[in-house]
Structure 1
Amino acid sequence: MKCLGAFCFILVAVVLSGAAETYQDNVATRSVKVEGILRCGKKPLADAVIRLFKSNSEDLGEVIAVGKSTADGKFSIEGDTSRFKAEDSEIDPYLRFYHQCEQKSGYKRVQLQFPKEFISLGKLPRRTYNVGLLNLELGFPGETTVKQVEGL
């Protein structure tokens, strides 16, 4: 009987330690959602690649979501840090657009940082940051050109 009690105690301890670790990771998870409309001059900009980074990094491991603009130029993208350990779940979100508006070869890359007020705790974003209508035909500060979009 003592052996059964000890086994139950060990089983409960193992289950609780796993639950505590999962709880800590879930509590640390951050999420964001961004939407808007992309244009190339007067035309909607379709098929622009949109990446949501958890920080200002070139590391594709920092990407928390990837999407494309629709035929009418609209996009909505959301991501979270649930795949990161609790200590790596802080987020300083950056949005990157890779597009071919007025570009014959390669892609233009535009980067935007958005306000931290739009970061939510948990996997589901509670607020949406709307960037409005962006005309990517115009030049943006820090805009660069890349030959190809890596990781697609």
Structure 2
Amino acid sequence: MRLVLALTLPLLAAALPWGSLQSAAVKGKLMCNGKPASDVKVKLYDVDTFDPDDLMAEGVSSSDGTFKLSGSEKESTKIDPKLNVYHKCNYNGMCLKKISIVIPKDFISEGEHPDKVFDIGEINLAGAFSGQTTDCLN
């Protein structure tokens, strides 16, 4: 019985309407072998431990490889934002390569609109990245 409570209470707490609205924003430039990587899928998530991650924003990089995402989420604790980049640079597989980048805590703002934007700079997707995976369901 205690195990059932221990597993269900966090899920119930996450579903309740309390908490504070928090936001984050991220921008950057994506390159592939020295050329802008356009139409690369980017998604901003709030990482959750006991339930599926919350999608805060999504988009694609522009023709010059740049992107900017901003999103918000209501949580009873601090949000844990991360950026997922899904690409096929130097990859011919059926799925997409996925790179995840954690957004630092000092780029989390209270309210719907973030005060600061985390700039990941320019990333060459042709490189090898720690923790890079393949994602077919993005």
Question: Shorter-chain TM-score: which interval?
Answer: 0.7 to 0.9
Residue 136 in structure 1 maps to residue 128 in structure 2? no
What pairs up with 1:114-133 in 2 under 5 angstroms? 114-133=103-122
What pairs up with 1:53-64 in 2 under 5 angstroms? 53-55=45-47, 59=52, 62-64=54-56
Query: How much does 1:56 deviate?
Result: 5.9
CA distance in 1, matches of 2:116, 2:78: 17
Query: Which 5+ residue runs of structure 2 have no aligned equivalent?
Result: 1-16
Residue 29 in structure 1 maps to residue 17 in structure 2? no
Q: Extract structure 1 runs of 4+ deviating beyond 6 A.
A: none
Query: How much does 1:41 deviate?
Result: 1.3
More helix by share: 1
Residue 51 in structure 1 maps to residue 40 in structure 2? no
Give me the TM-score of the superposition, normalised by structure 1.
0.72
Query: Which 5+ residue runs of structure 1 have no aligned equivalent?
Result: 1-21
CA distance in 1, matches of 2:54, 2:127: 27
CA contact (8 A) 1:39 1:134 kept: yes
Q: How many residues align?
A: 120
Per-residue deviation, residues 24-75 of structure 1 (Å, max 9, x unmatched): 76xx10001100100011111111111111116793x511111110111000
What pairs up with 1:15-26 in 2 under 5 angstroms? none
Bigger radius of gyration among the two: 1
Residue 101 in structure 1 maps to residue 93 in structure 2? no
CA distance in 1, matches of 2:136, 2:24: 29
CA distance in 1, matches of 2:61, 2:55: 17
Give me the TM-score of the superposition, normalised by structure 2.
0.79
The alignment yields a C-alpha RMSD, in angstroms, of: 2.0
Per-residue deviation, residues 65-107 of structure 1 (Å, max 9, x unmatched): 11110111000000001xx4x53x6301111000110111221
CA contact (8 A) 1:56 1:93 kept: no
Identity of aligned residues (%): 32
CA contact (8 A) 1:56 1:94 kept: no
CA distance in 2, matches of 1:80, 1:126: 12
CA distance in 1, matches of 2:136, 2:21: 34
**SS of residue paired to 1:29:** strand
CA distance in 1, matches of 2:67, 2:48: 21
2:70 to 78, 85, 107: 78
